[in-house]
Chains A and B, each alone.
Chain A
Amino acid sequence: MASTEIARQAGEGARAVPLAGHVGFDSMPDQLVNKSVNHGFCFNILCVGETGLGKSTLMDTLFNTKFEGEPTQHNQPGVTLKSNTYELQESNVRLKLTVVNTVGFGDQINKEDSYKSIVEFIDAQFEAYLQEELKIKRTLHSYHDTRIHACLYFIAPTGHSLKSLDLVTMKKLDSKVNIIPIIAKSDAISKSELAKFKIKITSELVSNGVQIYQFPTDDESVAEINSTMNSHLPFAVVGSTEEVKIGNKMVKARQYPWGTVQVENENHCDFVKLREMLIRVNMEDLREQTHTRHYELYRRCKLEEMGFKDTDPDSKPFSLQETYEAKRNEFMGELQKKEEEMRQMFVQRVKEKEAELKEAEKELHEKFDRLKKLHQDEKKKLEEKKKSLDDELNMFKQKKTAAELLQNQAQQAGGSTTLKRDKERKN
């Protein structure tokens, strides 16, 4: 029998080896990118904000398309989340974009539970992914990822400070999703007010311990731009899908009697910054953070809640497998119990039905017997009657024959007398 010897040389700190020529694995990033292109990408944005803050318009503006839908009503009883998925394509990249809108957020009189449906929705997406990951037969590479990658939080342009609803909601969401706060409809605020507003918002977020998404600064190629942008948060945006002619070009803008707000003009609003950061520079990082930070946190909490635990490294265990097995057996046991119960119930029902039917049968028999007896009685009566009638008839016949006999006798006697008379006459 052959035995093995595993000698792992310098696992972590593998030796660096120089290459004597062109090998060709520099094509690996290309191979990876090609595979992803063939596969397509997924990106899911959640828009949280009160009704009327221009969420749908901003999405339309960001992605240059008219997503369907009419403006929602203001009389919703609770907060619901509506999600729509679209397939966008630009050059050879196919993107499955899902936009989730909070419908009715901030419209209720009592807004205490407004954040709950949002948290539930986000958790539901994590749960779905976790379920898929825990399946025995799973298809992770073709799974349509619905986890929220970015949450755009729309702040109303009051110019003063954050509303308490905003603070509460953002605090509940910051450990579950990447939050990017934006000031909506910012053309309602003047430049000086805007600067003060931004400072107030940032300080309120910090003092309340709300962790918003920071654009990553660890990669040198984008560190500079990302850190600049981080200082401009929250972005003050204006959305518009209408085009206005400025100079000799058609630009996206909002036209007022006193002037025109150009969406893509950096002096007018931060729309371009938002688009840069959200799509062109950090889309992949947003996806990665969602998967490696927020999802892992959810997974850890969920599994610990379900009773799994890792044991420490030196007892090299299998406790997850055991507990998994135990749970499975428990589940199977429960299923069997349920099956048994159902079977018992079924047997019971059958017995009852049988008894019922037997009762009915018995009744029928009794009825039959009764009828038979009745019939027999009737028959007897009739027979008796018949007998009595027969007797009468016999008596009558007897009387009749007796009477006839008498008559005959009388006739004979009479006849002989008549004969005698006749004889006498003759003579």
Chain B
Amino acid sequence: VSNSSSSTSHVDVFQYYTLPCISLLYKAGGPVVDFSYVGIDAILEQMRRKAMKQGFELNIMVVGQSGLGKSTLMNTLFKSKVSRKSVLATAQEKIPKTIEIKSISHDIEEKGVRMKLTVIDTPGFGDQINNENCWQPIMKFINDQYEAYLQEEININRKKRIPDSRVHCCIYFIPPTGHCLRPLDVEFMRRLSKVVNIVPVIAKADTLTLEERDFFKKKIREELRANGIDVYPQKEFDEDAEDRMINEKIREMIPFAVVGSDQEYQVNGRRLLGRKTKWGTIEVENIAHCEFAYLRDLLIRTHMQNIKDITSSIHYEMYRVRRLNENNTVVTHANGIPEHHLAAHEM
């Protein structure tokens, strides 16, 4: 049975829940009591209230060789000092001998919307002479977050809100060589696109001319396709025709050629974020100069919820299926040491 209660189109809907007695709908011309209005659409407002009260969580991972501007880009995206370098300022920035994974959380607020942003940095990635298996620690970290969430979810006494530390998005920084992807890039993206949303970006894009940039992008897209690498937004997760249309446009622009900066300069009478050189000032938020604005819009303004949804309903579910299907469960003893570890020690 499909009933449609008479849908009334209003010019303005007064916030009925502050008027305890009568629900009034203001049409142009004065208050009118509309008896056919049930109030089902009030649930949107209720949801919004709940969301504002709870706040949001977002976990972004940045991966790339040192010197590609990862920290700067994070600071630029969130217009504040959110990167590891800004927080853990070390006297000398040495490239670590092994890959480390460092995550830092911040509480940021904008127009009443509170967000817990966690930036996960991976210093040391791709910096060794032998970079074999350098993706392993990163994959392990991502899987560990899924594992933590799964553990919480299968508890008998569950928390009201399970803290979400799963990596929602992994920004992969491609060095601006202008030629093609390196084997390291292909290997990393191939493996990780299966467990997390990857957003590849061309770092320090101000070293490429527009033609070089277009050529590079096309080459990268071809190589991604040739290697079967599905980056975000993945084609198979488009929900409907409208989605597909929007996402196709984005897929034609990937990877975004970005420039990051946390310094402001005076340009044409306005203060803008940019990089000042002898031959000109590159404006970070100018789409004629670089594609930072597109990246920001994608990640934050339009697709943030979608990124989180794909992480929780697809990547996490896949992990869960794999995990629950495993026949050899690792039994942990009361002191927390896994059994096979103990056995090895005894030998």
Q: List residues of chain A with CB under 8 Å of any chain B CB.
A: 1-11, 14-29, 31-38, 41, 62-68, 84-93, 95, 136-138, 140-141, 219, 221-222, 225, 228-229, 251-252, 264, 266, 272, 275-276, 279-285, 288, 292, 296, 299-300, 303-304, 308-310, 314-318, 320-322, 324-325
On whether the beta carbons of A251 and B336 are closer than 8 Å, the reply is: no
Q: Can you give 29 A-B contacts (C-beta < 8 A)? A: A4-B141, A9-B105, A14-B107, A15-B107, A16-B109, A17-B106, A19-B79, A25-B115, A28-B56, A28-B304, A31-B302, A31-B305, A32-B48, A32-B51, A35-B306, A65-B5, A87-B2, A87-B3, A87-B4, A89-B5, A90-B7, A90-B39, A136-B320, A219-B49, A276-B16, A280-B39, A283-B42, A299-B158, A316-B332
Complex alpha-carbon distance, A133 and B284, angstroms:
45
On whether the beta carbons of B99 and A4 are closer than 8 Å, the reply is: yes
Q: Top 4 A-B pairs ranked by shortest CB distance? A: A14-B105, A284-B46, A31-B305, A280-B39
On whether the beta carbons of A91 and B41 are closer than 8 Å, the reply is: yes
B313: chain A residues at CB < 8 Å are 140-141
B172 → chain A, closest Cβ, in Å? 17
Interchain CB contact (< 8 A) of A280 among B17, B136, B239: B17
On whether the beta carbons of A225 and B80 are closer than 8 Å, the reply is: no
Closest residue of A by beta carbon distance from B155? A310
Closest residue of A by beta carbon distance from B5? A64
Q: List residues of chain B with CB under 8 Å of any chain A CB.
A: 1-9, 16-18, 20-23, 35-44, 46-53, 56, 58, 77-82, 87-88, 98-113, 115-116, 118, 124, 128, 133-134, 136-137, 140-141, 154-158, 160, 239, 296-297, 300-302, 304-306, 309, 313, 317, 320-321, 324-325, 327, 329-336
On whether the beta carbons of A14 and B301 are closer than 8 Å, the reply is: no
A385 → chain B, closest Cβ, in Å? 87
Interchain CB contact (< 8 A) of B47 among A16, A32, A86, A228: A32
Assess A225 versus B156: contact at CB under 8 Å? Given A3-B98, A33-B47, A137-B321.
no
On whether the beta carbons of A84 and B1 are closer than 8 Å, the reply is: yes
B105: chain A residues at CB < 8 Å are 8-11, 14-15
Assess A63 versus B79: contact at CB under 8 Å? Given A4-B99, A14-B105, A320-B155.
no
On whether the beta carbons of B17 and A29 are closer than 8 Å, the reply is: no
B98: chain A residues at CB < 8 Å are 2-5
Assess A93 versus B44: contact at CB under 8 Å? Given A32-B305, A88-B3.
yes
Complex alpha-carbon distance, A397 and B281, angstroms:
151
Closest residue of A by beta carbon distance from B81? A17
Closest residue of A by beta carbon distance from B327? A325
B20 → chain A, closest Cβ, in Å? 5
Assess A29 versus B23: contact at CB under 8 Å? Given A10-B105, A322-B329.
no
On whether the beta carbons of B332 and A29 are closer than 8 Å, the reply is: no
A373 → chain B, closest Cβ, in Å? 69
Complex alpha-carbon distance, A229 and B20, angstroms:
9
Assess A279 versus B42: contact at CB under 8 Å? Given A65-B3, A272-B21.
yes
Closest residue of A by beta carbon distance from B296? A24
On whether the beta carbons of A88 and B112 are closer than 8 Å, the reply is: no
A416 → chain B, closest Cβ, in Å? 129
On whether the beta carbons of A4 and B140 are closer than 8 Å, the reply is: yes
Interchain CB contact (< 8 A) of A308 among B22, B156, B158, B334: B156
Assess A28 versus B137: contact at CB under 8 Å? Given A87-B2, A281-B42, A300-B156.
no
Complex alpha-carbon distance, A91 and B9, angstroms:
7
Complex alpha-carbon distance, A213 and B245, angstroms:
45
On whether the beta carbons of B56 and A25 are closer than 8 Å, the reply is: yes
A280: chain B residues at CB < 8 Å are 16-17, 23, 39, 42
A63: chain B residues at CB < 8 Å are 5, 38
Question: A-B pairs with CB below 8 Å: how many?
Answer: 285
On whether the beta carbons of B321 and A136 are closer than 8 Å, the reply is: yes
B151 → chain A, closest Cβ, in Å? 8
Interchain CB contact (< 8 A) of A33 among B44, B104, B110: B44
On whether the beta carbons of A41 and B43 are closer than 8 Å, the reply is: yes
Complex alpha-carbon distance, A90 and B317, angstroms:
33
Complex alpha-carbon distance, A34 and B35, angstroms:
27
A204 → chain B, closest Cβ, in Å? 27
A97 → chain B, closest Cβ, in Å? 8
A35: chain B residues at CB < 8 Å are 305-306, 309
Complex alpha-carbon distance, A36 and B324, angstroms:
29
Complex alpha-carbon distance, A300 and B324, angstroms:
20
A226 → chain B, closest Cβ, in Å? 9
A31: chain B residues at CB < 8 Å are 302, 304-306
Closest residue of A by beta carbon distance from B78? A23
On whether the beta carbons of A23 and B42 are closer than 8 Å, the reply is: no
On whether the beta carbons of A17 and B103 are closer than 8 Å, the reply is: no
On whether the beta carbons of A93 and B40 are closer than 8 Å, the reply is: yes
B79: chain A residues at CB < 8 Å are 19-23
A228: chain B residues at CB < 8 Å are 20
On whether the beta carbons of B7 and A91 are closer than 8 Å, the reply is: yes
Complex alpha-carbon distance, A400 and B109, angstroms:
146
On whether the beta carbons of A14 and B106 are closer than 8 Å, the reply is: yes
Complex alpha-carbon distance, A34 and B243, angstroms:
13
A140: chain B residues at CB < 8 Å are 313
On whether the beta carbons of B110 and A22 are closer than 8 Å, the reply is: yes
On whether the beta carbons of B53 and A25 are closer than 8 Å, the reply is: no
B124: chain A residues at CB < 8 Å are 2
Complex alpha-carbon distance, A19 and B108, angstroms:
7
A87: chain B residues at CB < 8 Å are 1-4
